[in-house]
Amino acid sequence: MASSTTSTISALGGKLVVDISISGGNPNNNVTSATSGRIYLAQIDNTANSSAVYLKIRDNASASPGTITANGTGTPHMMLYCRAYKKTSYAIPGGYPYVAGVSIWCPTSATVGSTSSTTNDVIVKLVCS
């Protein structure tokens, strides 16, 4: 779980979060190092994998991907898809608001509770405020 947060000067967002080894079962918790803000851009680099992935984002300082209870800590508030061997970017006009921090994980299944990981690393970048 190697993620870094860098403050940047931008009219869009003030933070760039880069996670170079995100997995399906081990979330990277509170990657924005903040309790509230907005996500303006998400990029998923899945070019090294033969399986599609789903970037799952939870508005919470921590997450438990294996939890499958209704709206439990394993239920994402946002989910973004990336095909195998591709890099996909999502622009979010106005930003996606979060109030409790951002936790992210990236399994190969859209099913809540899935903890399946890819063979190789997936790289995720977020531009946030």
Q: DSSP letters along the chain, please?
A: --EEEEE---SS-SEEEEEEEE-SSS-BTTTTSSSSEEEEEEEEE-TT-SS-EEEEEEESS---TT--STT-TTS-SEEEEE-TT-EEEEEEEEEEEESS-EEEE--S--STT-----SS-EEEEEEE-
The predicted-structure confidence for 51-96, as pLDDT tens digits, reads as follows 999 999 988 877 777 776 666 777 888 999 999 999 999 999 999 9
**Closest alpha carbon to 105 in 49, 32, 68, 56:** 56
For the whole model, what pTM was predicted?
A: 0.85
When the candidates are 1.20.5, 2.60.120, 2.60.40, 3.30.450, the CATH number that belongs to 3-128 is: 2.60.120
pLDDT at residue number 61? 76
Residue 1 has pLDDT above 60, yes or no: no
Per domain, the residue ranges of the chain are 3-128
